[in-house]
Structure formats: structure tokens, C-alpha cells
Amino acid sequence: MTGIAPARPHKEAARITKMLDMVLGVDRFDRAPVDVATLAMEYSANVAPEGPIHRVEEADITGCVGALVCSPQAPRQWAIMYNRGQSDGRRAFTIGHEFGHFVLHRGLIESDPNYELAIYCDEEAVVQRGGTGIEAEADTFAADLLMPLHDFRAHLPPKTQPDFGMLSKLAQRYGVSLTAAILRWLEYTETRAMLVVSNEGFAHWAKSSKPAFRSGRFLRTRNEVYELPGVATAVTRSFSDEARAGISQDSGIWFPEPVIEMCLRSDRYDQELTLLHFERRQAWNDDEEPVVDAFDRFTTG
């Protein structure tokens, strides 16, 4: 997310979260994640009976991960589609993202001829890590809805340095992918940490926590090729329980300071997740911003 997060996605997601807490109890995540497909249909039938979401279904939309489409004739009916082959966790986020477009942008999609009554979202749009405009709004909505911050923080306090085990448990709690849970945690943690997603020794993208970013710990990956350090686990491919739990890397390997490196290989996506934990430092002044290119703010998607 760049700059100030948009207020309306937060507000709309909070409204629904409050309703779910009331109906299902504040301990609802102890039992199950948000059933986002059912929620999208029931909620839309309530708030927009003249044009609800009547279907949430798998479809062949190669090149896209999800879509929100509207019938051309009256009465209006909407459908959320998700592309085949997504894991349960990714699918939940995709549906949450499209539900976000319905809640926030259906008026625009209906009235602006540029949309032709549909919005198709590709992998880049559904990323939860620094998209722009209405795509970022839909991501914010989905993250808030599926992983409410008050619940997330209660289970992973902002000063804790989690390992993959803790983060995986939270991913399960919210029915999202491990990556989605890590990105959520990076939004509020007070620790200096960074996630690097790589393949064949090169970073696809990286995201830093705010305290890490403010101390200059970020990677540029958008217009540059970032090659991981030769001794990084993702490069040596010495994947082990020890590497997953965290190994020390000396100053000068990743950054001019030592880090704890945790690495996990995902065969399904043919990529490595590397979590870097930096040492604690004094509190960073919120007003203090490092001098960097605008595109690199908090994310280097």
C-alpha cells in the first residue's frame, strides 16, 4: 500500500466484520474462516436486492485470477468468477477481492462504458502488496474482511518475531495463503522484517515492514533484477528444518547488518519465501521518511 490507505474499503469491510462478529461471535475464527462466497451472495442480496451477486463460480479465465461480471439485461445480476487451479487460500482472497469490487465499484463498472459491465483482474491486480486505484481498494477490502486486524494482532502481537510455523497457523485460521498472512502481518508489525519471494536465486518481489523500510531495509525489484546473496538458503537450496526455523547471516550478506533468515520452499508455486528479521532498534519516528524513489515506498512489487 502506498501512502495513506483509502478510507472507504476499510469502512465497508469494518461494517461487514462488525456484523459477522455480532451474528457469529467475536471468537468465530476459532471455528472457521470467513465463508466469503456465501457471504458475498447473502450480503449483496441484502444491500442490493435489485442487482445481487447470484453466482460465485470457477471459470476458465486464463490470464486472470478473478472477475466480476454483470448481466447486460435487467434485472441486473452479478457473478464472481475465479480461475481454475487456485489453492483454497488464494481462491478465498480472489473472491474477497471481487466482492470488494462489488461493494466499492459496482456503480462505476455499471456506468462507465470503459468497463463493459465487467472487471477482469490478473495476478498483478490481486496481490495485496501495493497495487493502485481500485485494485488496491479491492485488495484492502479483502485483507480487512478475511483477516481483521484486531483478531490478527491478538494472535500475533506487533512486537513478536514470528516464524513460518506461527504464520502458517494464522494463514489456516483465516483460510488464506501463507503469503497473504505474511503481508497482513507486515502491515502492522513494529519489528523490522522483510519478505522476499524468489525463484532461481532472483527476487520476484519483496516487501518490508514499515520500521524496516524506514531504516533503509528494502529491495528494489520493480525495474531492477535483484540477485539474492550466494549464501542465501534460497540460492544454496539447502532447505531444511533449520533453515526454516532461522539461521544467522552475517553483516554484509543481505545488508550491512546481521539478519535472521528463514527460508521456505514452495514446490507448488516453484518459488522460495525468505523472511528476514532484523535486530530491534529504537522506535522510529513516524514522521521520518527516508529519501527514496516514490515507487519503492513500502513495496517493491
Which part of the chain contacts Zn ion (CB under 5 A), choosing from 21-29, 48-56, 121-129, 176-184? 121-129
Q: Contact between 193 and Zn ion (CB under 5 A)? A: no
Q: How far is the CB of 138 from Zn ion (least distance, A)?
A: 5
Q: Contact between 81 and Zn ion (CB under 5 A)? A: no
DSSP state of 5: P
What's the grid cell of residue 218?
528494502
Q: How far is the CB of 97 from Zn ion (least distance, A)?
A: 5
* Cβ–Cβ under 8 Å, residues 203 and 228: yes
- CB closer to Zn ion, 138 vs 196: 138
* Cβ–Cβ under 8 Å, residues 44 and 102: yes
Which of 233, 239, 204, 231 has the alpha carbon at shortest distance from 219? 204
Which of 115, 100, 20 has the alpha carbon at shortest distance from 69? 115
Q: Contact between 138 and Zn ion (CB under 5 A)? A: yes
* Cβ–Cβ under 8 Å, residues 52 and 44: yes
What's the grid cell of residue 183?
503481508
What's the grid cell of residue 6?
483509502
- CB closer to Zn ion, 47 vs 108: 108
Which part of the chain contacts Zn ion (CB under 5 A), choosing from 36-44, 122-130, 185-193, 242-250? 122-130
Which part of the chain contacts Zn ion (CB under 5 A), choosing from 21-29, 49-57, 128-136, 292-300? 128-136
Q: Write out the H or E segment, with its range, that includes residue 7.
A: helix 7-24
Place of cell 490470464: 63
- CB closer to Zn ion, 12 vs 135: 135
Which part of the chain contacts Zn ion (CB under 5 A), choosing from 132-140, 262-270, 271-279, 280-288? 132-140
Answer for which of 39, 121, 146, 228 binds Zn ion (CB under 5 A) is 121
Q: Contact between 228 and Zn ion (CB under 5 A)? A: no
What's the grid cell of residue 24?
457469529
Which part of the chain contacts Zn ion (CB under 5 A), choosing from 25-33, 87-95, 131-139, 196-204? 131-139
- CB closer to Zn ion, 126 vs 219: 126
Cα–Cα distance, 32 to 291 (Å, whole number): 43
How many residues contact Zn ion, by CB under 5 A? 4
Torsion of Cα atoms, 116 then 121 then 125 then 126, to 10°: 140
Length of the chain: 301
Which of 127, 113, 34 has the alpha carbon at shortest distance from 72? 113
Residues of this chain, 9-28, that bind Zn ion according to CB under 5 A: none
Q: Contact between 95 and Zn ion (CB under 5 A)? A: no
Q: How far is the CB of 136 from Zn ion (least distance, A)?
A: 9
Residues of this chain, 139-168, that bind Zn ion according to CB under 5 A: none
Answer for which of 40, 67, 109, 125 binds Zn ion (CB under 5 A) is 125
Q: How far is the CB of 143 from Zn ion (least distance, A)?
A: 13
Using CB positions, name the residue nearest to Zn ion.
121
* Cβ–Cβ under 8 Å, residues 122 and 98: no
Residues near Zn ion (CB under 5 A): 121, 125, 135, 138
